[in-house]
Structure 1
Amino acid sequence: MAGLWNHSLQWVLACFSFCIISISAELQRFEHPIKANGSLSLLVIGDWGRRGHYNQSLVADQMGWIGEKLNIDLVVSTGDNFYENGLTSIHDPSFKKSFAKIYTAKSLQKRWYSGNHDYRGNVEAQLNPILRKIDRRWLCLRSFVLSSGIVDFFFVDTTPFVDKYFLRPGHHTYDWRGVLPRKEYLAKLLKDLDLALTASTANWKIVIGHHPIQSIGHHGDTAELIVRLLPILEVHDIDMYINGHDHCLEHISSTRRHIQFLTSGGGSKAWNGDIDQLNQDGLKFYYDGQGFMSAELTQTEARIVFYDIFGKVLHNLDLSKELYSTM
């Protein structure tokens, strides 16, 4: 009987250990090399996939020019990659017509790291690794960490946080495979993010989501992210939160911490004149047209630049910080 009890106890402890490991599992991590001089440069684009329409092709052309000028290492997409409802399957022609055949410049033939995968469509299509065989640049996951030594990017799947998609979906149909039960999914995501931020030794920490935490644009602040995500970002003293969703270019500086809220959602269709005139605390820049953003980083310096569809510089942000030893 004692032997049976000991065996059962060992089994329970083994299962308990497995559960702890599963719950505490880190976000999938990818490595991207920096340049030989220790720098990293990239472009950020969001809300873009419209088969070249609504000035998407013009934005893509300027991205090509700026990408060559900066000798970029990678491209970040803040989501809403294929309008109106994502991809129907891995064979959906929109993948080529809205991505592969639009961003054709030589400088843009780098890895594209993408968040938000259009839950209104076949949610698993954009996540399918087969797309990487169709176009080697494409990498899209729900949430993950991209490490480049001097900077860690934390991609966060923000769509499941938003209550209205579940409670008031309207005429849209959402594909929640991989997300339900929602409460457990979000709890694990937040825990994994907290663990990843805690483990990060990079001098720059940048979080990327689709939905804004702070914005004066059409959608405005995302209340659920302010309540659930922002406290974790503040505890870990991140440097930037970058998003799309609002079809504009925007820079808001936190009035509580040094976090910079940056919106790059001008990849195609924009909402001219759609702005909240009353909620402008910390606002440094807002542009209600199409465009994109660049970022150049070294261990101690960061330069952010916003461009319009003609490549004109609209706004820039320069940040600097000390290099903290991890020894």
Structure 2
Amino acid sequence: MRVSILGAGAIAYGLAAYLAKSGHTPKLWSPSGKRTEALAAGEPLKATGDIEANVAVEVATDCRDAVVGAEVVVIALPVNGHKMVIDAAALHLTDGSPVIISSHSSFAALYLSRRLAERNVKLPIVVWGTTLLSGRQLGPTEVLVSTVRQKLDVATLPFDAQDQGHELCTSLFGDRFVKRDGMLAIALSNLNPQNHLGIALLNLTRMEKGEQWSQGGNVTPTVGRLIEALDAERLAIARHFGIAVRTVQEHFSLSFHVPTGSVSQMNQEMHKRGRGGFGPTTTTSRYVLEDVPFGLLPTVMLGKISRHPAVLHDSGISILSAAYGRDLRADNDILPTLGLESLSDTELMKLSRDGF
């Protein structure tokens, strides 16, 4: 299949390598054009780690070139770039052509749904609870893939296209997708923001000093207990909406293949196995600048709508905003356009299943 990937970071490169190795035809689009210059000049994309590949990939000249003619479009870049990319892609998307959002956050699928409704375009929007893989770029043509997840939550907007979205993802990326009960379940299944809050907040000086530090090794019992308390807030909101979501321990077990225990114990085991990774070495990390406004803020909103306040999530936003000297809430450019905070829980559930 011809699959266009809107993005050019480690996740986009890893997806392109996976698809090309599996016999599909990926095309990358870098909004700035800078990251893909060497690939556009004909150099192959090299992947190492959990994906070993040395493949040719196409590079789009602009968003129109990426979208027109693609059988599937995948949005795979940090969520603080989602609105910009959605605004560009929505002009060229056509009826029936599926879009995958990897990974979904901050109700970006609803924003895309509204933009498409303005043009009377109808298509399935497939949302993932997290990314298919994790890794980092080693250069302009090379990516190290550290993990390919065995299981991945998926839902489709509108809900009546759920089976279609699941079949599409399976045909592209294998039998690893678990159907969840709609987009709202996915919105409550992305655990990275809450986990990164605990990790970043309690290791902030390491980030500021630029130290190299083990992330898994530094999820000590105190950090682990904070992450577990944050998880309890998310689980309470999910129960209110009648949605089954995985616990943070289930997430770590499925994503990193370690025995279930406390969050700290599981991270220590990941560290022992060399899979705990390194923590951020700068305060400009996505753990704060992306996950706080686009990950924590939607959970706080859902807590207010469900009358199960996410006090720790909200406090974390305030503490990090004070530490950074600016209101990180204001960085979210998606939620203010949707007006979801004025909806009742019933109205939000309906919109999350039907779209605009």
Shared fold per TM-score greater than 0.5: no
Q: How does the TM-score come out when normalised to structure 2?
A: 0.28
Larger Rg: 1
Q: How does the TM-score come out when normalised to structure 1?
A: 0.30
Higher share of residues assigned strand: 1
Q: Report 1 or 2 for greater relative contact order, CA contacts < 8 Å, sequence distance ≥ 6.
A: 1
Higher share of residues assigned helix: 2
